[in-house]
A = this chain, B = another copy of it.
Amino acid sequence: MGQQSRRSAEAESSESRASLKVRARLPHRERKPINLDALNGHVGYFLRRLQVVVFREFLRTLAEMNVRPAQYSVLVLIGANPGRSQAEIGEVLNIERARLARLLHELQRRDWIQRLASTGDLRSHSLFLTNEGTRALARIKMLAARHEMQVSELLGAKRRKLLIELLQAVP
């Protein structure tokens, strides 16, 4: 894979944590640094900056299963909370119900999930993994754990732990 060759190439430069660095297309000569100005005062800017890098890495590591972050989070929640409705899953993940409907349609097409009529409220669907979905999720979780290790290499284990604690505590 392209990722493998890239990683080994960068490893040669003896910077093990450089693999995820945001510096594509290195310029021929170093330029004067750019002043971030007001961006330095925005949480959103830094959140977005890191999130883009992390998601890009996620896509690379999960490429063999062709799973995107949103699909991953939905699969994990269905696996750990079988029988919940689309409304409940969507609310927790902050995914619009319209978007979730299409996302689930794709997961169903792959035969990873099934939607059964709810016993109580006839409007809602109860979500479950299929047997194939359960097997796929096991593999996917393994790759996701590998991804998280790469994130940990990028951030440093200590900073990663601090960051999770901080973000988890947000109301």
Contacts and interface: CB of A to CB of B under 8 A. Distances in A.
Nearest to A155: B170
Contacts of A79: 37
What interface size band does chain A fall in? 35 or more
Contacts of A80: 34-38
A47 interface: yes
Contact of A38 (B46, B48, B141): B141
**Identical copies in the complex:** 2
Interface stretch (A5-13, A19-27, A103-111, A128-136): A19-27
B77 A43 contact: no
B144 A42 contact: yes
Nearest to A162: B166
A4 interface: no
A109 to B, nearest CB: 23
A163 B159 CA distance: 11
A39 B170 contact: no
A19 B42 CA distance: 19
A160 to B, nearest CB: 6
B46 A48 contact: no
A20 B74 CA distance: 23
B22 A94 contact: yes
Nearest to A48: B51
B91 A38 contact: no
A49 B70 CA distance: 11
A43 B152 CA distance: 9
A17 B171 CA distance: 9
A37 B170 contact: no
Given A43-B151, A88-B31, A151-B43, A144 B55 contact: no
